[in-house]
Structure 1
């Protein structure tokens, strides 16, 4: 381990046999050089035994304290193949690896999904008898598949409509809408904002299906040209631009026993967001976060599942900026009248314990720790566990909170990004982490004695193969002088402080993203490493507005996207310019999406800094962006005309200096190509030269092998303009 620390924290040298990354490895390197790992770790239900898939992906191994946590084979992929072959005889399938999606039903049964030639099966495997049974069966390739408790019923989409397959094999057609723009049960409702990751929810008794019905027939059709035919055609998508007509969403219940339908009476106006949808454990009520289109007023409402009637508003949350619900309610396992609610209303996203009458029991927050993943409860239901962001967002640690008094204890200690979980009895902790100098470490911690048993310490996967550049964390103070900012420098290969080096600033800067954390390699991307090996100093900073730092860190951007973000980036850029080994005349900047917006903004608003820039999928004018995301931060163009004018690049094309390459996916349904085309048009009118490259078949991100082409293009662009 000592050799690894030296490798990362001191300037690397080209030892015998070491080389730089190839351009292909900028894309496929993360898989090729992944640190040794164990996969799909799970505690066996109700026990202190733990299972995981081995590195060959053929065996499910089990570990427990009695055996000193030594691994033993429990089930093999071959065992599953033999068992399932006896119950599926009419179509072909091969279980090539142990299923990574396995779940412990209880201490004797595991459940997993199997894709066969024609159908997708839910399988339950009995460890004692080594037999399997089918718990669900649906045609392969269906979208938004949603399983009820114990897989007794399965809902899925056929186009824009819902179909249910019952346990006895019957098919029930739930919806039959044929109007273009009516979409049922889709996880893409509200464009996946507000934590929406599904469009259907089964009741606790598996008898009722709750689902979204989205009416976007009034939303403008947006054309995406298709070039895969002799005569190009148009694919239309519904794209609600900021300030324009948005979708109208309702919630409905289908009763599989009576075939009856009920609509929740979520009321007016029709343009509102229905979020954090949660069934009551009794199945009698449904809780919905009703958020206004302005996204500054949330009501947590309770509805009668039998009639759909509105029962009461449990509480309301208002803000002068925005309210952004992200997680559904979590009911206590031993108290159906209390639930946990997550909000950042007091500064940091934390847990609040409420009664179902809407009264607050207590705040369960701890210092400035941000709850990122609520993991569940101990067997007695007296403690909750969660992964929290801490140390100014640089770390992720496991925490335990007592529900009766909010007493909180940090269960993992090493400065790192941890993935950890507590055994069902609460006695042991599975702790996996990495940091700048640790590729991957896994240990079991005794919760009482705090003693640990090492399971795996991964070697540096690059040692003797790839010459890694030096990576270093930096901390700055935000432009307003109040807040620490995290940054990362990746130094050129064979760094010599007596020389001068060109710079590539890589940035994102937008919400729900964080580029700098104390994980393996500091979170650096392989393209950054590639550019450093080519002789660039690569710099990244997380400005205000980015993730994992709390409410005030993000809300400063309200109605003026790009302003505080660029001011903070300038703090880091000024530092770079002060360094004697930085070639100030040859600095470049690269960002995608919001990062493309930031890159374009720098090239027009701070146009004397960067000689070359690459803006991928850039937002050029927020009035062309969609309602849900755009209006949260900017309000509507009608409400905030000055803010939209200040952030737009269209009225600043004449200020463009330097060499700018814009890259866009022609099928981009997120930042539509109109953004870059409008900017190109304004540049033409202003007499400004811009380089432009289109990926005809790609959406918002260029994926697969074409991504190699993209990175090669970007690297050569910077070489052309920044290398002497």
Structure 2
């Protein structure tokens, strides 16, 4: 009897521990309560075999070194930093809750980090040997984006729409002084951050010159966004270059720090072209710019004189019948002013090519159908290049090494899964973290001289003893072309019983530069998908043609007809589901956001007999209302492709709506403006179709923070109520 009582108590405790996810956990749990053990913000000290990272409480900087058999030890604490800061600036009050997540090694002894004080923002240089602040550059509290010079003596900051250079001596130099807010200098929001643009200011290698974007958007139409938080709702205008209408005009300007003189690069051509892949030559004499026409089908890689701004020559041109999409700056080979790597998908897969500065192709560095996803670096003598690339039909990410001399390629990592690699500065060691559908995280050090691996740790399953995640499996579906294999993810309902029938929630995105299914922990899914499966849904996702990591032809098939091929493939996914005896064919719903919102609404109005419930967040409804840079790349101008715009517009398809559709929008959305959903709602009214609508008054394109709980609960409730 006593044994039975003990067994009963143990069973009761286990039953209590094993519970379903809460909506809060389903929203942020995989990054918080159920975060897989990993190294936080890992970086290699330059010219060393020591890797540093933050501890689990973000209170100290830890280290592992080959010299100590990769054993863990503490290098510095947050208190060490605070003590040094207070000693250097006794009158300041610093706000540092955790050890700076964004620390960056400057050399083997010094790292830098940003910290806020009552008097401004500080870029701090800290010596790990002396535990002292060796230098600090302070900028005004209003400073937004910033660029630190290579010699660490100057910071160029964006203050509003103008640039100021701040030096360690406290001297400020005004670089631009444009009173018209329509002239924006140095912003990374140039060309709306398309074409891989993530900065708007570039220092020359010798730190003597600052190159920056000058964006003139005075001629771009104002678009009204209403702030409902005011006593009387106030209008806020933003510049929105809508497809087929006037675009911004951009130039590149060089500011000489010593003379304060400015030189504009003579990037001749139409004013509405795009300036991309902006790169200084290592000697600082030249600037390379990818000049892309507004049609986005003709790229010229041009060379300009940094002193005069004069055009020197076009190194090469790239043309396409669909579109050319430059996404990366040039990478010069170390110690060579005349050789660089260029990334392009011109031959089918985004891969590396070695060129010289005369425009001569020296070597193709591509390997089979591998898509390069991340450039990692060179070895010591720059004989080999390391990069991350795809494998396993795009599901895996592996480490590759390629010879610059002959293009011979070797795959370094072998376990199937998604590997994340950090190389030390001379590429002798690699920190490798990888996961797959059965491995939460495996962390090791790879000796790249002999490919031997030193394990550091394997993470435990963070859900064990807390909740039981439903079964998930990766599946393959043949595309609508009858030949292309598509990656899918199927999550079974909790307590799955094959003799029962279950409703389905299809989670969809389907657009360019997005991949939802990977051979990684949880299969690339969010915990919200598992939350819905725990509630009794089959949750299904398919990466249709048009999505990422499968090559040019796989993606470009969508050109000029967004949504058409994507829907055809998604319906093949539905056919796959319907072949399962446990799927209730009369209870299929679909949910997606942004391009996924477009896909959701497209599927609901094109296949009303199939989809009974839909939730469309921030949906594109008519591509003529979308921005030039993204929209015209895939659809061309409305005047050039009227048939395509008419075919993909959902306004005229509102009359086909049969099921329950919840449309959600952020009132401050400056990406997919609210006009999209308003036009669709009006069309529903005119067609006598009922639609549910919800607005988040303070949010832009995505709903974040605590309001994300509200959003996910609303989505779950909608499916529970109507499916």
SS in structure 2 at match of 1:150: coil
Q: Give the corresponding residue for 1:622.
A: 623
Q: Is residue 377–residue 427 contact of structure 2 (8 Å, CA) maintained in 1?
A: no
1:531-550 matches, cutoff 5 A: 531-550=532-551
Q: Is residue 20–residue 530 contact of structure 1 (8 Å, CA) maintained in 2?
A: yes
Q: Give the corresponding residue for 1:220.
A: 221
SS in structure 1 at match of 2:147: strand
Q: CA deviation at 1:140?
A: 2.7
Q: Give the corresponding residue for 1:23.
A: 23
What CA deviation, in whole Å up to 9, does each residue of 1:490-525 have, x standing for no partner? 110000000000000000000111100011110111
Alignment of 1:140 onto 2:156: no
What CA deviation, in whole Å up to 9, does each residue of 1:188-212 have, x standing for no partner? 0000000011111111111111111
With 692-701 and 14-23 compared, the bigger mean Cα shift is at 14-23
Q: CA deviation at 1:131?
A: 1.7
Q: CA deviation at 1:42?
A: 1.7
What CA deviation, in whole Å up to 9, does each residue of 1:427-481 have, x standing for no partner? 3221101111111110112334433222121111111101210011001111102
SS in structure 2 at match of 1:707: helix
Separation in 2 of the partners of 1:682 and 1:193?
A: 31
1:276-315 matches, cutoff 5 A: 276-315=277-316
What CA deviation, in whole Å up to 9, does each residue of 1:128-171 have, x standing for no partner? 32221224211234111111113211111121111111232211
Separation in 2 of the partners of 1:512 and 1:227?
A: 34
1:643-682 matches, cutoff 5 A: 643-682=644-683
SS in structure 2 at match of 1:86: helix
Q: Is residue 195–residue 325 contact of structure 1 (8 Å, CA) maintained in 2?
A: yes
Q: CA deviation at 1:598?
A: 0.6
TM-score using structure 2 length: 0.96
SS in structure 1 at match of 2:560: coil
What CA deviation, in whole Å up to 9, does each residue of 1:300-352 have, x standing for no partner? 00001111000000000000000000000001112111000100001111111
With 278-287 and 74-83 compared, the bigger mean Cα shift is at 74-83
Q: Is residue 349–residue 370 contact of structure 1 (8 Å, CA) maintained in 2?
A: yes
Q: Give the corresponding residue for 2:612.
A: 611
Separation in 2 of the partners of 1:676 and 1:50?
A: 49
Q: Which structure has the higher relative contact order (CA within 8 Å, separation 6+)?
A: 1
SS in structure 2 at match of 1:532: helix
1:344-355 matches, cutoff 5 A: 344-355=345-356
Q: CA deviation at 1:181?
A: 1.3
Q: Is residue 378–residue 426 contact of structure 2 (8 Å, CA) maintained in 1?
A: no
Q: Is residue 243–residue 627 contact of structure 1 (8 Å, CA) maintained in 2?
A: yes
Separation in 2 of the partners of 1:426 and 1:186?
A: 33
Q: Give the corresponding residue for 1:50.
A: 51
Q: Give the corresponding residue for 1:10.
A: none
SS in structure 1 at match of 2:145: strand
Q: CA deviation at 1:693?
A: 0.8
1:417-496 matches, cutoff 5 A: 417-496=418-497
Q: Give the corresponding residue for 1:273.
A: 274
Separation in 1 of the partners of 2:713 and 2:473?
A: 25
What CA deviation, in whole Å up to 9, does each residue of 1:35-89 have, x standing for no partner? 1121122222112222222222222222222322111222222222222221112
Q: Is residue 296–residue 320 contact of structure 1 (8 Å, CA) maintained in 2?
A: yes
1:256-405 matches, cutoff 5 A: 256-405=257-406
Separation in 1 of the partners of 2:132 and 2:183?
A: 43
Q: Give the corresponding residue for 1:107.
A: 108
TM-score using structure 1 length: 0.96
The root-mean-square deviation of aligned C-alpha atoms, in Å, is 1.3
Q: Give the corresponding residue for 1:236.
A: 237
Q: Is residue 16–residue 464 contact of structure 1 (8 Å, CA) maintained in 2?
A: no
Separation in 2 of the partners of 1:579 and 1:712?
A: 28
SS in structure 1 at match of 2:26: helix
CA separation of 1:154/1:701 partners in 2, compared to 1, >3 Å: closer, same or farther?
Answer: same
Q: Is residue 122–residue 151 contact of structure 1 (8 Å, CA) maintained in 2?
A: no
Q: CA deviation at 1:104?
A: 2.2
Separation in 1 of the partners of 2:293 and 2:129?
A: 53
Q: Is residue 329–residue 341 contact of structure 1 (8 Å, CA) maintained in 2?
A: yes
